[in-house]
Amino acid sequence: MTRKPFFNVLVTDFDGTLSTTDTTPALASTLDAIHNSTDKYKHVPSFQHFSDKYMTDYNAYEAWIERRFANRVRRGEQCSYGWLVEYLRGTRWMEKRSMDRMIADGFYRGATRQQMYDTGAHSPFVQMLPNVPQALASIWSRCPSNINPITVLSIGWSADMILGGINHSVQQFLSSVDNPDSGFDQEKVKSLASQLTVVNPNMEYNHVTGISTGRLSNELYTGIDKINAFNLIIEQYKIESGRPDLKFAYTGDSLTDMLCLLKEDVLGIWVGDNSSVKRWIDHLNISLIPLRNASVDDPAKVLYHIDDWSEVSEFFMP
């Protein structure tokens, strides 16, 4: 009989992993509307202004790194994990440059936490993938009382928007199965969902006015920043739970998730079909196996792929 891997804690990306797509347009449209509604912020450029400048930097970096790697291939060098790390390290200058522009011009100013939460809960741009609420509720319902087994690790700018999207979808799901035989501890799920930890470069708020100041809480911009944060999350869970043997899974969809997905002793679960991720999987000769077929005997260089989020909760062990 095949022995399957398992996890006790799920750390997950948000955009394109839990949500159907990038939710930046939702946040951007809310902030643009706030800025356009009052003379105080009408001088703030629109999100499109910053997006155009970012794409100029991004295209320049992609062209430069493509030439750099092509020259290595011509010299007979083999693509390696180190190349992926180098690529991700190189993206930091353009990500930081973009964030610095947006902070300097006040793009993140003027919002309340409630406005961000409501954006996550009600914007048409923030929708969860099929069976995400069911999978999260299933994990929460079965977890020990002393641990919240899910943490969101995102480079998105608003933890409140992320919480709004997740909580709204979970509440909708619970209301659809509101019967004693549903198998879900509804009060437990609601409690843990409200306590969900989001690690991200969160918008900061004035503690007196409750209005966003325009600054971000940290510089979590790239895949390098993500793997560093992931390592800290793992360490913190093990210390706080008193369980150094905890097993972790990571779910992600994009290149910023690759180092977390490939971390040793982590159940790396790739969501979606991002072409850049697929290209690196091929370059690095990583085995790609459907999660439903996962085995503890699978090769060390492996990523698992899901067609449906309901598969993920099957590998959770309290």
Q: Would 142 be classed as within a structural domain?
A: yes
pLDDT per position as a tens digit, 22-43:
999 999 999 999 999 999 999 9
Q: Would 52 be classed as within a structural domain?
A: yes
From the list 266, 263, 273, 258, the residue with the least C-alpha distance to 306 is: 273
Mean pLDDT of 177-183: 66
CA–CA gap between residue 211 and residue 231 (Å, rounded)? 32
Block residue for tokens 């409750």: 210
Q: Would 3 be classed as within a structural domain?
A: no
CATH assignment at residue 18? 3.40.50.1000
Domain that holds residue 50: 9-313
Secondary structure class of 44 (helix, strand, coil):
coil
pLDDT per position as a tens digit, 278-288:
999 999 999 99
Q: Would 2 be classed as within a structural domain?
A: no
Angle between helices 223-241 and 81-90 (to 10 degrees): 100
Q: Would 36 be classed as within a structural domain?
A: yes
Q: Would 33 be classed as within a structural domain?
A: yes
Q: Would 4 be classed as within a structural domain?
A: no
Strand ranges in the chain using DSSP code E only, listed in sequence order: 9-12, 109-112, 150-153, 197-199, 203-205, 211-216, 248-252, 266-271, 287-290, 302-306
CA 73 to chain centre: 32
In the prediction, which pLDDT does 179 show? 64
Report residue 190's pLDDT band, with 50, 70 and 90 as the boundaries: confident
pLDDT per position as a tens digit, 64-87:
999 999 999 999 999 999 999 999
From the list 296, 298, 292, the residue with the least C-alpha distance to 311 is: 292
Q: Kindly report the pTM of this predicted structure.
A: 0.95
- Checking if the pLDDT of 300 tops 90, the result is no
* Count of structural domains, the chain: 1
Q: Would 41 be classed as within a structural domain?
A: yes
- Are the C-beta atoms of residues 85 and 224 closer than 8 Å to each other? yes
